[in-house]
Amino acid sequence: MPLFNSHYRGFILVLLLSCLAVSGAFAQKTREQLEKEKAENQGKIRDIQNILKQTSSQKNVNLGQLKALNQQINTYKKQIDLLSDDLALLDKELGVLQKKQQELAASLAKLKEEYGHMIYEASKRNAYMNQLVFLFSSGTFNQFVNRYKYLKQYTEARQGQVKEMEVLESKLRAERQRITSKKSQQKTVLDTRLTENTKLEGLKVKQNEVIKELSQKEVELRKQIAENKRANDFLEANIRRIAERERRERLERERKEREEREARRKAERERIARENAEREKKGEATVKEEPKEEAPVFSSGGMNEEESTLASSFTASQARLPWPVKGFISSHFGQRPHPVLKGVMVDNLGVDIQTSAGDPVRSVYDGVVLDVTQMPGMGSVVAIQHGIYMTIYAKMSGVSVRPGQKVKARENIGRVATDSDGTSELQFQIWKNTSRLNPESWLGRN
């Protein structure tokens, strides 16, 4: 009976270890996701630091520097949150390891107790009878065979218990090493979090200094707001003009195509009527025939098949479009409070993406260049059509495309310009016909 109990306990132990291994795999997946997020955010911190160095190299503080500081603070806060998540996950993983260690230790102690009992029983038997006497004192041959099988099973059971104890002792040593490593990892993460907190506090001090200095330039800031509004109004008027022109051209194209289709149907009816009249004169039976219905070349929005397909695929790409430049959103869509002047609201037709000087600007989707122009306060502006959609790229320099040119997604169309304050910002907009959309809901993860 003890032999079968031992095998049953071994099976339960293997099953328990398998379950722990599965739960460990799920924890590992969470660990991989967390490490990926930490690495991505750390990359953003480095990128923003480069942008911040560029704006901080100017003699006077500027809004670009404040925006970069704000973003750097946000990324550090996120990194600290991720490190806190890391510590919580490490606590959970350590708890699992310690529980596993306790279970292994308990199983090993139980095995040693059983093995000790078995050795004790064996020593008592050997005191009055050895194995040969036990075998050859059998009354029958069948009894001899059964006693031999019993001794063999008994020996194998002892050997199996020894091996099982050796395996458990090895696993127990491994778990102790993993626990030591996990505790060391915890200390490293905790130290890193403390370092990041110190950096964050330093950035907040710098942020307050910049805000204080900018607050003393209210007249200059209000002048800048007025100039930006004029530039935005001029840009919006130009975009609406382009969008309205395209809309009218599409509708006109659709109208002409519809009239030509109707004219062909009318001509076909007249031909059928003439032929039937000739048949009547000859006494022949007339033919009941209607002109074949032609499929429209253009959709109800005046788009041809290629444009319609492009518009549909663009619609399906919402929240997945690539970013036109590498950087961060320094000014969001719509009306927002001014970052320094209290009670002052500013309006953005799209989003401003702050980046490094001279970074390439890329088309976010396949399309056709509608317009390339220079505008006061906006530098070079490129408009790209994607069916009924249009993307706008402003504050550019070194434009490398021309009107009518087809472009592919992620194709370079120019470089981001740098203003007198040393800030490199791309103004990016998305329009559907004459309605402006929030680009943040269209762009994928950066």
**What mean pLDDT is predicted for residues 205-210?**
88
Q: Within this chain, do residues 226 and 211 fall inside the same structural domain, yes or no? A: no
Q: Within this chain, do residues 57 and 184 fall inside the same structural domain, yes or no? A: yes
pLDDT higher than threshold 90 for residue 328: yes
- The DSSP call for residue 441 is G
**What mean pLDDT is predicted for residues 82-88?**
85
pLDDT at 109: 73
In a domain, 66, yes or no: yes
CA distances to 52, 229, 419 from 339, in Å: 17, 16, 19
- Vertex 427, ends 200 and 333: CA angle to 5°? 70
The string of DSSP codes covering 124-139 is HHHHH--HHHHHHT-S
- The DSSP call for residue 57 is T
Q: Within this chain, do residues 372 and 407 fall inside the same structural domain, yes or no? A: yes
In a domain, 446, yes or no: no
The range of the structural domain enclosing residue 326 comes to 218-246+308-441
**What mean pLDDT is predicted for residues 380-394?**
95
pLDDT at 353: 96
Q: Within this chain, do residues 261 and 289 fall inside the same structural domain, yes or no? A: yes
User: Total domain count for the chain?
Assistant: 3
In a domain, 235, yes or no: yes
Q: Which residues are within 8 A (CB) of 159 and not within 5 positions of it... i.e. 6 or more apart? A: none
Q: Within this chain, do residues 301 and 400 fall inside the same structural domain, yes or no? A: no
pLDDT at 164: 66
Q: Within this chain, do residues 86 and 211 fall inside the same structural domain, yes or no? A: yes
- The DSSP call for residue 321 is B
Q: Within this chain, do residues 274 and 200 fall inside the same structural domain, yes or no? A: no
pLDDT band at 145 (very low <50, low <70, confident <90, very high): low
In a domain, 184, yes or no: yes
pLDDT at 1: 39
Q: Which residues are within 8 A (CB) of 250 and not within 5 positions of it... i.e. 6 or more apart? A: 298, 301, 302, 303
**What mean pLDDT is predicted for residues 258-285?**
82
